[in-house]
Chain A
Amino acid sequence: MEILGYKNMHRTLKKLTVLIFSCLFVPRYFLAWSNRLIPALYTISLSTIAYGCYIGLYVVPADVTQGEVFRIIYIHVPLAVLSLLLYLCVSICMLLERGLHLKMAGIYAHAAAVVGLLMTVLTLITGMIWAKPTWGVWWVWDARLTSEAILAVLYIGYLIVRTQIQPKALGAEISAYIAWIGTMNIPLVHYSVNWWFTLHQGPSVLQFAQPKMPWTMLYPLLITGFGFIIHAGVMVVQTARCLILSQQNNNQTDANETVVDTL
């Protein structure tokens, strides 16, 4: 135990925790590491997505009943999963912001909402592109599609309230309620196909039983899923960077104006 440095273990752990915490929640450190890591992470995520899409488009044989249209699953499903996950991130970050007064958590929530809105809209668009040749219509008001559309509305509402209401503190508080109350839409989106009769099919992958597709079709989906998760993470980091920098910029302008006023 002496050899392993056990005596200093708790100090090392404490240092590590402080390091992680300060890298995430101190703007100066966050800006420093994100500046270095963003290009590398973008390279990893984009190449993973490109590799997964290549396998999905050229290697995997077409589905027996749907034909070539099924290949849109390789971007539709990761986007749909991310649209739900990012909403959970938003509400957890709002919990940290309102509870612990961590300003950076609020910035993460804002950034995650921007990326989540993008993911939701892309989910709806890719889904519609798939639905027209498969079902015969672009849009049906069934439970799954409607709840996903409500998710997009929640994201839009959250962002409008967060950015437009003055004073900013009031906007942040109201947007927290939107995030928390809207969280109950997440299980609704996921279980809507089990609870109600819908035109959208049931889950093929995200379920406890055996996946409803062969491994040859499934593994490119896992690759693109991994790539999209990293990509969404980097997009959140980059949006957070932009928000911090613009805020600092605004503060600086404000400071200059006060100087001018006093002069």
Chain B
Amino acid sequence: MVSHKLVNRLMPAMKITLWCSFSIACIIYGLREHAHLFVRVQQIIDNPSQWERQQLRVGGIVVEQSIRQTSAGIRFSVRDHLNKDPRAVTVHYAGIPPALFKEGKAMVANGQFKKGQFIASEILAKHDENYQIPEMTQHARNPN
């Protein structure tokens, strides 16, 4: 019986493989809360003191009509990207944001949280998985 031979031949190797895979899976499971690229706005609003004066990345959606030019650069508010919670975090950034950084779009800011405001040293635009051709947006503007 071929399959019986196959099982006998592969059994020791499979045991080693499964134990190694199990241990690596445990490591990845232990990393699950630390492998996020950024912190949600919700987490910061829920517990602001926890994140005070730490280097961290905040990810969220730029609130519509919140980008303001200031003397030091730009200022805008970011809300959570998973729920419709209107509470937002104010972000200050001295520099030029990437081209895809727009109101209503997602972004990730790298920096520090100081006295209830986020001082960003780097801003990344996050593109979502939706692709659109120009006709579709026109259709969305005038549905008839």
Mutual binders A and B: yes
Q: Which residues of A contact B (CB under 8 A)?
A: 60-66, 70, 73, 95, 98-100, 133-137, 140-143, 173, 176-177, 180-181, 183-184, 188, 195-199, 201-204, 212-214, 216-217
- Are B10 and A95 in contact (CB-based, < 8 A)? yes
Give which listed residue, A180, A188, A202, contacts B129 with CB less than 8 A: A202
Interface flags, B36-79, vs A, CB<8A=1, else 0: 11101000000000000000000100000000000000000000
Write out the residue numbers on chain B whose beta carbons fall within 8 Å of the beta carbon of A143: 35-37
What class of interface size applies to chain B in its complex with A? 35 or more
Distance between Cα atoms of A213 and B129 in the complex (Å): 8
Known: A201-B126, A204-B131. 5 other contacts (CB 8 A): A98-B9, A136-B125, A143-B36, A183-B21, A201-B129
Interface centre among A140, A142, A197, A214 (most CB of B within 10 A): A197
Check B124 against A203 for contact (C-beta < 8 Å): no
Chain B residues at the A interface, C-beta cutoff of 8 Å: 2, 6, 9-10, 13-14, 16-17, 20-21, 24-25, 28, 32, 35-38, 40, 59, 97-102, 105, 108, 122-137
Provide the main secondary structure of the chain A interface: loop
**What are 17 A-B contacts with C-beta separation under 8 Å?**
A64-B136, A98-B9, A100-B6, A135-B124, A135-B126, A140-B37, A143-B35, A143-B36, A184-B21, A197-B36, A198-B36, A198-B37, A202-B128, A203-B129, A204-B130, A213-B130, A216-B133
C-alpha spacing A195/B137, complex, angstroms: 30
Please indicate the chain B residues that have their CB under 8 angstroms from the CB of A188 in the complex. Answer: 28
A-B contact count (CB 8 A): 120
Contact between A134 and B100 (Cβ–Cβ < 8 Å)? yes
Shortest distance from the beta carbon of B58 to any chain A beta carbon, whole Å: 11
Partner of A64, one of B123, B125, B134: B134
Q: Are B124 and A137 in contact (CB under 8 A)?
A: yes
Q: Give the residue name and chain of the B residue nearest to A221 (CB).
A: B131
Partner pick for B132 among A98, A197, A214, CB 8 A cutoff: A214
Say yes or no: A135-B125 contact (C-beta < 8 A), given A63-B132, A214-B131: yes
B97–A63 touching, CB < 8 Å: no
B131 close to A140 (CB less than 8 A): no
Instruction: Specify which of B9, B13, B25, B133 is in contact with A217 (CB 8 Å cutoff).
Output: B133
Instruction: Find out whether the CB atom of A66 lies under 8 angstroms from the CB atom of B10.
Output: no
Specify which of B14, B102, B126, B129 lies most central, judged by the most chain A CB atoms within 10 Å of its CB: B129
- By a CB distance below 8 angstroms, the chain A residues around B100 are 65-66, 134-136
Contacts of A70 in B (CB 8 A): 131
The reply to whether B127 and A177 contact each other, CB–CB distance below 8 Å, is: no
Chain A residues, CB < 8 A from B38? 197, 199
Please state if A181 and B98 are interface contacts (CB–CB under 8 Å). no
Pick the residue among B17, B36, B124, B125 that contacts A177 (CB under 8 A).
Answer: B17
In the complex, the answer to whether B132 meets A65 with C-beta atoms within 8 Å is yes
B131 touching A195, Cβ below 8 Å: no
Name the residue on B nearest A207 (C-beta): B129
User: How close is A165's CB to chain B, nearest CB, in angstroms?
Assistant: 17
> Are A204 and B105 closer than 8 Å at their CB atoms?
no
